[in-house]
Amino acid sequence: MTSVGKTMFPLANGIKNITAMKARYDQLQTQLATGDKASTLAEMGSDRYFDLALRQRMARMDGYQQSISTVNLRLEVLDTVMSRLDKIESDARAGAVSGGGTTGINFQTTPTLAASRFDEVMTLLNTDIAGRYMFGGNRTDSKPVSTPSDLMNGVGARAGFKQVVGERKLADLGADHLGRLSVSTATDTVTLGEQSTVFGMKLSGVNTTSANIAVTAPGGGPPPALTVQFGTPLPAAGDKVQVSFTLPDGTEEQIVLTATTGTPGVGEFQIGADADTTAASFGTALTSSVKHLAETKMVSASAYAAAGNFFNGQGQQVMRVDGPPFDSATGLIAGTTANTMLWYNGEDSADPRNTVTARVGEGTTVGYGVQANESGFLNLIQTLAAVAVQDFPDSDPTSEERYTSMMSRNAARLADTKDNQPGSLAAITVELGLAQSTTGAVAERHTAHSAQLGNMLEQIEAAPTETIAMEILALKTRLEASYQTTALLSQLSLVNYMR
């Protein structure tokens, strides 16, 4: 008789299968609860390599997005400051173009208003974000410009702008107020010569409408001189001699003297009985006109020249008159931290935008550094400072013409035609706007790319709820059947088959 045993029904295999199904059942329940396919990288199998690569890429883009967020915050602050500076420049331009009229009120309020604008500009250039200063290039840990009061008035032995501009005025005027020029007359010839190669007015030309007046262009020296000679026949009434000058700020001015047979008035010389008396009258008229020009338009030009030397630009030094004495000074000398206020303390780079950069994407870097010594800021600062230190007393006969000269120079220096020049406020604003536009476009790409990577990562990591639920139900049914079968097998005995 054939024997019946449990070897025909392998219980151990059934239990093993049940254990495996139970482990899978537990795993599926965990996936359903967490939404993840695996709790460890080891459980992911070969997908873990793709998972790590995707996460690393997303982490880099998160870092770029954080950098973009920081850059955009700084660019927004810069844009706000630049907008205000542009408004200050626009207001100063409007005031200069209109002239404001030459009245006592304007004589007093114009310098005061310029000083107020100067203070605001310098304060804006010290703008910081959480202690990071924005207008000193890559030197962000300290204020890029000195305080307005210190710059104007000086500190201790360190001269401020008011002192420097006063010294330059003396050097340009000279002791006799002839703009460092000399007028001499010898018989029939008048000679106008320069006394300094650096200061005062420079001779740039001479011409005449008369065939009876001989002129020689500036030459000889240094320093150069020009001559005007009267011979026979004498000039006729109405004949003119024009002498051209270059003032300390580089602008051009002319003196025109007209011959007359009567008593000469302003801008006229008398035709005498001979060439010598005519030359003497011309020399007197020339001296008077030169002095007037020096005390009015040249003094205004001198203030701008001093501003250009004191508020130095990129790659330049602060310069001041080498004196005392100042009215006979012969040259400029570099200011030092011991004797002169240095207005700018930031980075001095020829490429300001690239002094501060940020990498915002793979192969994409934006530069958004700004230096207060760029030409746009400098032009505004120098213009405001030159006006702020002026004094136009009603009792001074030169006040009206000096005021008019200052306003005409302001209008020229602040003209909106300069906006298209490199380093202008408008150009800087455009360049910063381009940086902001670039970061915005890159941020959009990062957002789209991160979404794509997120979808790919979800396919690798996320557990499909519907599929898992169906598998759990199927596995549950199999487990229940396996439990029942195994239970029956565990009770199987030969006795049950014996009769």
The 8-class DSSP code of residue 237 comes to T
State residue 339's pLDDT score: 97
Q: Is the pLDDT of residue 200 over 70?
A: yes
Tell me what pLDDT residue 163 has: 98
Neighbours of 250 (CB within 10 A): 11
Q: Residues 307, 165: contact at Cβ < 8 Å?
A: yes
CA distances from 447 to 68, 434, 453 (A): 12, 20, 10
Compute, in degrees rounded to 10, the torsion defined by CA atoms 266, 268, 270, 276.
Answer: 110
Return the higher-pLDDT residue of 220 and 145: 145
pLDDT at 191: 97
Task: Give φ, ψ of 189 to 5 degrees.
Answer: -125, 135
pLDDT in tens, 424-446: 999 999 999 999 999 988 888 87
What is the pLDDT, as a whole number, of residue 2? 47
Give the model's confidence band at 54: pLDDT under 50 very low, under 70 low, under 90 confident, else very high.
Answer: low
Token pair in block for residue 60: 């880099």
The pLDDT of residue 384 is 97
Q: Whole-angstrom Cα distance, residue 481 to residue 427? A: 81
Q: What percent of the chain has pLDDT over 90?
A: 66
Q: What is the mean pLDDT of residues 50-72?
A: 78
Instruction: Give one DSSP letter per residue of 72-104, joined into a string.
Output: HHHHHHHHHHHHHHHHHHHHHHHHHHH---SSH
Query: Is residue 98 pLDDT above 50, yes or no?
Result: yes
Distance between CA atoms of residues 81 and 121, nearest Å? 9
Predicted local distance difference test score (pLDDT) of residue 115: 96
Distance CA 269, CA 280 (A): 9
Among candidates 83, 152, 80, 144, which has minimal Cα distance to 116? 152
56: exposed, middle or buried (Cβ count in 10 Å: 0-12, 13-18, 19+): exposed
Residue pair 118/307 in contact (Cβ under 8 Å)? The answer is no
Amino acid at 350: A
E-only strand ranges, 168-307:
181-186, 189-194, 202-208, 213-219, 225-230, 240-246, 252-260, 268-270
* CA dist., res. 229 & res. 188, Å (int): 6
Region of residue 302 (phi > 0: left; psi between -120 and 50: alpha; otherwise: beta): alpha
Q: Check residues 60 and 234 and name the one with the higher pLDDT.
A: 234
Secondary-structure breakdown of the chain: helix, strand, coil percentages, each rounded to the nearest 5 = 55, 15, 30
The mean pLDDT value of the chain amounts to 87
In this predicted structure, the answer to whether residue 14 has a pLDDT above a threshold of 70 is no
489: pLDDT strictly greater than 60: no
Instruction: Report whether pLDDT(498) > 60.
Output: no
Is the pLDDT at 472 greater than 70? The verdict is no
| Preceding peptide of 218 cis, ω within 30° | no
Q: Helices (DSSP H) in 126-175: which residue ranges?
A: 148-153, 161-173
Check pLDDT > 80 for residue 353. yes
Provide CB contacts within 8 A for 319, sequence distance 6+: 309, 310, 312, 332, 333, 334, 335
Q: How far is CA 274 from CA 64, 188, 227, 235, 460, in A?
A: 87, 9, 18, 10, 110
Band (pLDDT 50/70/90 cuts) for residue 33 is low
Is the link from the previous residue into 393 a cis peptide, with omega within 30 of 0? Answer: no
**Structure pTM?**
0.81
- Which of 98-102, 112-116, 346-350 has the weakest average pLDDT? 98-102
Question: For residue range 277-336, what is the model confidence (pLDDT) as tens digits?
Answer: 999 999 999 999 999 999 999 999 999 999 999 999 999 999 999 999 999 999 999 999
More confident residue, 309 or 364: 309
Which residue bears the tokens 């570099």? 334
Q: CA–CA separation, 282 vs 423, rounded Å?
A: 47
pLDDT confidence of residue 459: 63
Q: Which helix (H) or strand (E) holds 133?
A: strand 132-133
Can you tell me which residue has the tokens 């501009």? Answer: 165
Residue with tokens 């005021």: 403
Residue 4, pLDDT score = 46
Answer yes or no: is pLDDT of 59 > 90: no
CATH class of 60-145+344-444: mainly alpha
Which one has a higher pLDDT value, 37 or 205?
A: 205
| Res 460 pLDDT > 80 | no
pLDDT at 420 exceeding the cut of 70: yes
Which sign, positive or negative, has the C-alpha torsion 134, 135, 141, 144?
negative
As given in the structure block, the two tokens for residue 485 are 């079968």
Amino acid at 373: N
Asked if residue 138 lies in contact with residue 369, where contact means CB atoms within 8 angstroms, the answer is yes
Answer for the pair 223, 248: CB distance below 8 angstroms, yes or no.
no
428 vs 489, residue with greater confidence: 428
pLDDT digits (tens, 9 = 90+) for 222-280: 889 999 999 999 999 999 999 999 999 999 999 999 999 999 999 999 999 998 999 99
Rounded to whole angstroms, the Cα distance separating 6 from 4 reads 7
Name the token pair of 114: 């310029």
Q: What kind and span of H or E run contains 242? A: strand 240-246
Structure confidence at residue 455 (pLDDT): 67
Q: Of how many residues is the chain composed?
A: 499
24-28, 239-243, 386-390, 427-431: segment of lowest average pLDDT: 24-28
Res. 56 pLDDT band, cuts 50 70 90 = confident
